[in-house]
Amino acid sequence: MLRLTEIKIPLHHQDENAELRTAVLTKLGVADADVRHITVFKRGIDARKKMAIQLTYTLDIDVAQEAALLARFSKDPHVRPTPDTQYKFVAEAPAELSTRPIVVGLGPCGLFAGLLLAQMGFKPIILERGKAVRERTKDTFGFWRGQELNPESNVQYGEGGAGTFSDGKLYSQVKDPKHYGRKVLTEFVSAGAPEEIMYVSKPHIGTYKLVGVVEKMRASIIALGGEIRFNSRVEQLHITDEQLEGVTLNNGDYLACQHLILAIGHSARDTFQMLYDAGVYVEAKPFSVGFRIEHEQSMIDSCRWGPSAGHPILGAADYKLVHHCQNGRTVYSFCMCPGGTVVAAASETGGVVTNGMSQYSRHERNANSAIVVGIHPEQDYPGHPLAGIDLQRKLEQAAFKLGGEDYRAPAQLIGDFLKGQSSAELGEVQPSYTPGIKLTDLAGLLPDYATAAIREAIPAFEQQIRGFAKADGLLTAVETRTSSPICIKRGADFQSVNIKGLFPAGEGAGYAGGILSAAIDGIKVAEALALDLLATHQA
């Protein structure tokens, strides 16, 4: 098979298959009969010329005289052999193995770590502090409708992890030479995700579809001999001579264990404290804070797609923005949700946290994104590995108070924020956040340097997206859970640098950011654990 890249056809075409075939024949200079089959591996969008948007493809071609073609195009980087992306298991559990590894957390990282271990025959025990995804969804939607927050069942905690209540984005910039991402997408499709996620350049699933996908993956783990315990929070690690020996759960159960994957999310603050108290080496890491910004999706579509806005292949447009400020800070867009909503993402009583979510259709009226400022432990929260948590909590509690202490979020029109005056009434952009917002003045909520940086960045972003700084766009506070505030350091063997048998993984440990990268990290760590467990068993 040959892999061809940068094959382009117009957005407005009559027959995709026919146009692609013509492009392939032209590129390779072969007869039609020589091309036996064409498979779309990836499809992207080139919108640099809005009046002539093109679709750009990576194709796998079954063609006659493959060796001769490779020789002829040896200096062309766009014609290469198709790489082998089939996943290959690194280990298989012996039938007599009685030891069972533990996975803590059932977000994307823990889900794929557990699935891989189960597929290799290791019959993992997976501990999830929250509820099963469908029960968790009821609790979360109930909170959004104005009911009480459940600190153990919300956007942050429960089966599926924080990514369940997001856009379900499945793309990442992590290097992936072993094609683990392909394994992730394949498993999602096997569990019911749309097949298009295998080839579109920015695949997403959406919350409602993710719920069913996660349930089917859980069923696969159980069918392979795995065990999943919900409402099971790890309260204590038992460590002897820097070797993990077991864990105690919140119900008092003790589980002996010398191989444990710690796949907690970025909001497991009580677990972070427990790990620190147990002597596990952790250190503070940078993260970002800011607001959610909302505009009408139609405006974003028009700016990105021009007269082609509304084309079904294009769908709802997204954006990615970065601005380096005069005060040395960097402001950037994060977790952009086209055609979505701003959601309440608190996991502690007395705090307001915002996040973004889209359904698969992305048909909601507004576009939203985090607009956040990078902050660093050395200058912004020095002195303690867990100081970033204290800063997050301080901002969330301040937002709770400013919003009226009933989980409404404080909000301000963009024009008023830039002028430094309080907002009194909404314009065309209607807020999507539930339980609701309270218009106010957001100045003073973030540190002064962050407020100044965002005020500088929004007009700069206007230069890239016309209307971005429009006066009646909306800012909703506060966004604090962009990434983990700590890193649970691990070595080249994927184990904690000072506790053998403990495998930190995913977002909470500081090694991922998003569904796909967390899932990939779960696979890597599961492989490392399996090989170490086998070596221990054989010794």
Question: 10 Å Cβ neighbour count for 536?
Answer: 13
pTM across the whole model: 0.95
- 335's enclosing H/E stretch is strand 330-337
Q: Please write the tens of the pLDDT for every residue from 63-87.
A: 999 999 999 999 999 999 999 999 9
User: If DSSP codes are grouped into helix, strand and coil, which group holds residue 259?
Assistant: coil
Q: Please write the tens of the pLDDT for every residue from 271-286.
A: 999 999 999 999 999 9
Retrieve residue 270's tokens.
């009580």
At residue 92, what are phi and psi to the nearest 5 degrees? -140, 130
Q: Please write the tens of the pLDDT for every residue from 41-54.
A: 999 999 999 999 99
Strand partners, 4: 59, 79
Backbone φ/ψ region at 76: left (φ over 0), alpha (ψ -120 to 50), beta: beta
**490 secondary structure, DSSP code:** B
Could you give the angle at the alpha carbon of 228 between the alpha carbons of 532 and 502, nearest 5°?
30
Which amino acid, one-letter code, is at 195?
A: E
**428 secondary structure, DSSP code:** S
220 Cβ neighbours under 8 A, 6+ residues apart: 115, 118, 191
Give the E-state strand segments of 469-516 in sequence order. Answer: 474-479, 486-488, 502-504
At residue 408, what are phi and psi to the nearest 5 degrees? -65, 150
Q: What is the pLDDT of residue 539?
A: 72
Average pLDDT over residues 135-153: 92
Question: Sorting pLDDT into bands at 50, 70 and 90, what band is 527?
Answer: very high
- In the predicted structure, residue 165 carries a pLDDT above the cut 90: no
User: If DSSP codes are grouped into helix, strand and coil, which group holds residue 162?
Assistant: helix
77 Cβ neighbours under 8 A, 6+ residues apart: 5
Among 116, 237, 105, which residue's Cα sits nearest to residue 502?
Answer: 237
